[in-house]
Amino acid sequence: MSNTFLKANWENLIMANYEVEPSILKPYLPKGVELDFYKYKTYVSLVGFMFKKTSLFGLPIPFFGSFEEINLRFYVRKVEGKKIKKGVVFINETVPFKIVALLANKLYKEHYISIPTKNSIEIAEHKHIKYEWKINNKWNSITAKSDTNKYKIEESTIEEFIFERYFGFTKISASSTQEYKIRHPKWMTHKMLDTHIDCDFKSMYGDAFSGLNNQTPDSIILAEGSQVSVDWKRERF
């Protein structure tokens, strides 16, 4: 069996990054990892992007190869002696297809749900990207307008903190954590020109995140994306 569980293109990633108190994230923190800080702050990111050309174990998924994903994630690190693994933990991942959510939850013990989603992507003089998802009979959305130029991510910036993450950690239980490797090249970003967020954080993610309804994100970033692979091999600790 191939060591690559999932391979796909992740394209046009919008990341809205909110400062939150560490106490909000600690109940979701897997054993064996610690919160990661950027300039003494902890962050969650509301993320929207396109999954395209999706395959599992090298086999394309018929009829389900292209779809939107919306997720809420935060940032952690695992210290192994002198080595530091920078990674992410997902509060929730949302896709439109029940079979995709079922497979991800069954095979990877992730936290997927399935609800209606849609997108609008226009690329001409500018990029206009919009992702929408429906909960409680209301469409939520995250929208970005940017230029079409591509910019390298500079060191020690919020962009580097958010994007340079190559491990995922899943809280299996209070005493068990699952670690997996995420592989992709460094991403390029676009200069933001306009953004809009309409998200009912309480309905989507629970009372702990209801304060984000009235909070302005510290930053919103649009990344070009790339082909991404997720290893099948997982470590538990």
Q: What is the dihedral of CA 157, 161, 166, 170, to 10 degrees?
A: -170
Determine the Cα–Cα distance for residues 204 and 207; give it in Å rounded to an integer.
Answer: 9
Q: CB neighbours (10 Å) of residue 7?
A: 19
The pLDDT of residue 1 is above 60: no
Per-residue pLDDT of 15-49, as tens digits, reads 999 999 999 999 999 999 999 999 999 999 999 99
- Tell me the sheet residues that pair with 116: none
Please give the share of the chain, as a percent, with pLDDT higher than 90: 80
Determine the Cα–Cα distance for residues 65 and 56; give it in Å rounded to an integer.
Answer: 10
> Does residue 225 sit in helix, strand or coil?
strand
Per-residue pLDDT of 191-226, as tens digits, reads 999 999 999 999 999 999 999 999 999 999 999 999
pTM score: 0.94
* Alpha helices for 28-124 (secondary structure H): 98-108
Q: Which domains does the chain have, with CATH numbers?
A: 4-28+44-74+92-166+184-236 (2.40.400.10)
> Does residue 201 sit in helix, strand or coil?
helix
